[in-house]
Structure 1
Amino acid sequence: MSKKKRRRIFKPFRRASRPGAVPGTIRPAADAPPPLIDLFAYDEHRVHRAKNVTAEEVARARGSARVVWINVSGLGDADVIRSVGQTFGLHELALEDVVNVHQRAKVEEFEHYLFVVARMVRNHQERLESEQFSLFIGSNFIVTFQEHVGDCFNGIRNRLRSPESPLRSRGPDFLAYALLDAVIDAYFAPIEAFGESLERIEDELEIRPTPELVGQLHQIRSDLLLLRRSIWPQREAINNLLRDDNRLITRDTRLFLRDVYDHTVQLVDVTETYRELCADLRELHYARIGHRTNEVMKVLTIISTIFMPLSFITGLYGMNFDTSASPFNMPELHARYGYPMALAAMATTAGILLYFFRRRGWLHREI
């Protein structure tokens, strides 16, 4: 795979804040899209949904319902991010981590809220990408930040519209669980696709190994490495939510988070298994190529060995002189059947060599 292709899979590490900048500086990346803010305010009796709201509308919605969910898609406007943070009392250091999207999955505890960083996976233009998902859990609010528009939360939004949904009767910690569960479950689809691709490649390697299969294996292994780098820290972060005795996470919600942790462990195991399988299939490819090369060399060596005595005989009888007057006459040089007898001698020699090779097992081709 070319270096250009690798750079498309693994984005280079770039920190927006320059060295020596004031801590808490909110400086989005130059290519970050403008933010779009969605609002959900709900309780067990009613739900209010608003799209593309302004920062002022967010401030007015603060405390309008038992649970308020603010989702910001796009990090291209520092003023909007700062305004949302001021509305909910979010620390500037946490907001700095929001716009610096190279963060490792983690959980940080503040006085009145929890700050959780996770990694979302998505398919963009037929390639796998990972983006940062930032989550703030308060006593009556959830604030989430995403790098781009488009996520895996449509199912949660539909559940919030249903009066029978448990989300409507529970607190913001249960909504945080649902969001994290959706983030983790989104990993299963690409991993299942990788499993099907590896099974197909293994079947094709048994039939006919080609260089294209090695390229596919390398790309799958790179994508699996991307998933591994995203999943491993999230297992630790979710485990912290289970261990920490924080009043913002109820005991009932911890039971559901335990299920998310189990899914994360399962993803880690499957990812490691598939990465090892990629290495095994690549070694199988090279082994079959080496075996095929050895078979070709063996056939060529046998052919050369057979023709060595035949070349000697034809070279000996091809010497350009007459020995009729010499006491050392070349046998059958002037005989009537000398030519067919020479051909018979060469055929007999070749037959004896072939019989010898077969008895020794050198002509047996292993599949």
Structure 2
Amino acid sequence: MKSGKYLRMLGLPLLFGSHRTKEILHVNPTIIPFREEANEVSVFIYDYNGESLTEHHSGSVEDCLDFKTSNHISWINIDGLRKSDVEKVSNHYGIHPLLMEDILSINQRPKMDEVEGVLFCLLNMLYFNDLKKTVEAEQVSIVLGNDFVISFQEDSRRDVFDPVRTKLKLPKSIVRQRSADYLLYAMLDVIVDNYFVVMEKVSEQIEILEEEVIRRSNTRSLARINQLRKELIILKRNITPVRDLVNAIIRSESDLLEERTTKYFKDVYDHIVQAYDLCENYRDVIMSMQDLYINNVNLKMNEVMKVMAIVTCVLAPATVIGGIFGMNFDVIPYAHHKWGFYFAVGAMFFIPLWMLWIFKKRGWF
């Protein structure tokens, strides 16, 4: 049987997560990514002002085109991406082709752009997979225009925007009273707040692993340390650029952003800086945990070597005495004495016991 089959039987590739390393590190932005077309597209439209809210749900992007001139603020959330649908919406709402390309891309670095009268934000929503104990990312693109916000999501099964939807249904909520830029703030705010939820899950895994490393350090503990370090790479890769994204919005002089909304984006900036600091703290804890694992392994090795050294020292007198009386000479003292055997065996027991007493007195074990 080949070695690869043995590895599959032992589950070592799953243990050390080499496939996860490939997912994290093998990213080349110069290669045109291949994106599978979504089988289904769901379009959720919230058309609102301070007095009214109208909700629409459709399976075609054509139903959202008329809301450009609704004289209300419109949030168009498109779940599931198809190139033809993105092009149709982009052409109708004046979204530049470069931004269209970013929407259809994958593994993009979070960023903010302001092109031809629209403000574009690209970042990732993070989730924690409780089954696989991994951090998952979903790219979301948000376009802010004149009285409209369009969001493009990859996965139609989940998002983090439920708090925003709840606020929209409240007639006296601030979201309903403000312009579209406040809606953009609310969406960025819930995305950043969800980062803390994911980081709390990762923190729980770190605490469990720390107790495991302290109690018993084994190969599985090292594999878990390696896995958590990879998940922290995912967190840092997605959190760090968002800080620059929010900072760019704060410094922007776009007419789409009201001055009174700036303080809200500053609050998001404070949160993302805090998330970044926590991510750095988690990284330090993981590195310390790895050092702790190495120290525990070395300590165990030292204990083993100490026991083996003691056993070797204890058996040395018996080996020497047996070697002396086993020499092939005609005349050996006490070799033919009737008590010679008992003298030799007694010395073999007495000398090791005396050595153990000396070792114990000096605190060697």
Name 1:141's counterpart in structure 2.
Answer: 148
1:270, 1:52 → 2: CA distance? 40
Please report how far the alpha carbon of residue 315 of structure 1 lies from its aligned counterpart in structure 2 after TM superposition.
2.3
2:76 to 64, 70, 76: 70
User: Are residue 44 (structure 1) and residue 59 (structure 2) matched?
Assistant: no
User: What is the SS of the residue equivalent to 2:120?
Assistant: strand
Which residue pairs with 2:183 in the alignment?
175
Query: Alpha-carbon deviation of 1:15?
Result: 6.4
1:123-162 aligned at under 5 Å gives the runs: 123=128, 126=132, 127-149=134-156, 150-162=158-170
Cα distance in 2 for residues equivalent to 1:250 and 1:54: 32
**What amino acid is the match of 1:141?**
F
Show CA shifts across 1:20-69 (max 9, x none): xxxxxxxx713555432111100011111111253332122222142011
Q: Which residue of 2 aligns with 1:277?
A: 285
Superposed displacement of residue 187, structure 1 = 1.0
Post-superposition Cα deviations, 1:93-144, rounded to whole Å, max 9, x if no partner, equal 1111110123221111123221111121124574422222111111210011
RMSD: 2.1
Question: Equivalent residue for 1:111?
Answer: 116
Counterpart CA distance in 2 for 1:294 and 1:308 is: 21
Q: TM-score, normalised by structure 1?
A: 0.88
- Which of 1 and 2 has greater Rg? 1
Shift of 1:7: 3.2
Gaps of 5+ in 2: 1-15
> What is the distance in 2 between the residues matched to 1:234 and 1:30?
26
State which of 32, 35, 42 in structure 2 corresponds to 1:29. Answer: 35
* Alignment equivalent of 1:60, drawn from 48, 57, 66: 66
Aligned to 1:218: 226
* Pairing 1:253–2:264 present: no
Structure 1 residue 8: Cα displacement: 4.6
SS at match of 1:129: strand
Of the structure 1 ranges 202-211 and 30-39, higher mean CA displacement relative to structure 2 is found in 30-39
Counterpart check, 1:351 vs 2:353: yes
Distance in structure 2 (CA, Å) of the matches to 1:348 and 1:31 = 83
Among 291, 301, 308, the alignment partner of 2:309 is 301
Deviation at 1:5, TM superposition (A): 3.3
Query: Percent of counterpart pairs with the same letter?
Result: 31
Which amino acid is the alignment partner of residue 20 of structure 2?
A: K
2-structure distance, mates of 1:189, 1:176: 21
Q: Which of 262, 265, 270 is the aligned partner of 2:270? A: 262
2 CA distance for matches of 1:31 and 1:333?
Answer: 94
> Aligned partners of 2:323, 2:354: CA distance in 1, in Å?
20
SS at match of 1:45: coil
Change in Cα spacing, 1:73 to 1:14, as seen in structure 2 (3 Å) is farther
